[in-house]
Amino acid sequence: MIKLIKIDEESRIPKYKQIVDSILQNIANGNLKINQKIPSINSFSEEFYMSRDTVEKAYNILKERKIISSIRGKGYYITRTKLESKVNVLFVLNKLSAYKMKTYNSFINTIGANAHTDLHIYHCDETLFLNLLDKFEGAYDYYVITTHFKTDDLKHLSFTDEVAKAIQKIPEEKLVLMDNIKIGMEGEIIKIYQDFENDIYNALKEGLAKITKYEKLILVYPDKAVYPYPRRILHGFRKFCVEHEINFEILSEVYDDMILKKGDLFITIEESDLVNLMKQIRDEKFTLGKDIGVISYNDTPLKELLGITVMSTDFNVMGETVARMILNKEKGQVKVPFNFIDRNSI
């Protein structure tokens, strides 16, 4: 097999990428068969006078894409020869949640068999994110990326200098910025985004007639969270309340012994706060949607089932739009619809 591998010492393409491309090309040409053994990392390294780390990086990429696998004590083998995927996509999310997965599933359903997609979660952790991009540099046709990070004191951060540098290494034609695009990157890239400040402001304006029935509007915004939310949500909320002269308060959580009063209208963001609030409303015999109102941020099937009024990005549209633009090789930016969905809780 060593004779089949072509490495161009004069090329500017990284050596690990040349290894990956050469092995894939030999599979496509029929030179490498299923279950065929390939050289060890050490053998490959010695034959081509390159570092062991370079070969290992190439092999790890092929393992992630399930092209090869390793058997302890025996070596590496070809495990997949059907390379029917036309596009390989790295899909990077900051967290697993019902609405994030709605976006991902919508993307998968729209792009269908036209792509092979690998999903990775970095849990709002900068180091994990940077390691992901470094590990998979040059390995995919598209990089679909969300940028939500947490500081040491668990506050939201859209990006850091290191994050910006890492993303700028991705060729423009391969980059898709999704959800949060506050990173200052221009050029011929795909941007599918929420406008956190204006989204909540406009949604509240849409529900103004019902909101003004209540005496006080209370936003429960987690000031510190493992998965923090953009502070632009706060800015849009304050702007709405000030412009419409609405009495408001901002809390960091729903406390177990919350003081509830008739005429309160709550906006919750975290699922746990919504559950806690609903329990207390029920226990204190308040009538939901009459004595106390509830609006929740980001829709889920459970909220729909329970009849909870929501303000929410259309996460299905987000995933569909990303897939469509990749398939059609479109560029540009698209603002995702953000809707006020009136149900029985206000």
Domain range for 55 is 2-78
For the chain, the straight-line distance linking the first and the last C-alpha, in angstroms and rounded, comes to 68
Residue-wise pLDDT for 153-169, tens only, equals 999 999 999 999 999 99
pLDDT for 29: 82
Token pair belonging to 256: 């177990």
Dihedral angle over CA of 130, 98, 157, 168, nearest 10: 40
Q: Check whether residue 187 and residue 221 sit in a common domain.
A: no
Closest to 298 measured CA to CA, from 320, 278, 273:
273
Please tell me whether residues 184 and 201 are part of one structural domain. Answer: no
What stretches of 163-308 adopt beta strand conformation (E)? 175-179, 190-193, 216-220, 248-251, 264-268, 293-297
List, as one string, the DSSP characters of 43-67: HHHHHHT--HHHHHHHHHHHHHTTS
| 220 in the same domain as 308 | yes
pLDDT of residue 72: 86
**96 lies in the same domain as 186:** yes
User: What confidence tier does 82 reach under pLDDT thresholds 50, 70, 90?
Assistant: low
331: exposed, middle or buried (C-beta count within 10 Å: 0-12, 13-18, 19+)? middle
Domain count across the chain: 3
Q: Please check whether residues 178 and 234 belong to one and the same domain.
A: no
Q: Which CATH number fits the domain that encloses residue 327?
A: 3.40.50.2300
Element spanning 332, H or E: strand 332-335
Per-residue CA distances from 323 to 47, 116, 160, 184, 270 (Å): 41, 12, 27, 23, 28
pLDDT(84) > 60: no
pLDDT for residue 242 is more than 90: yes
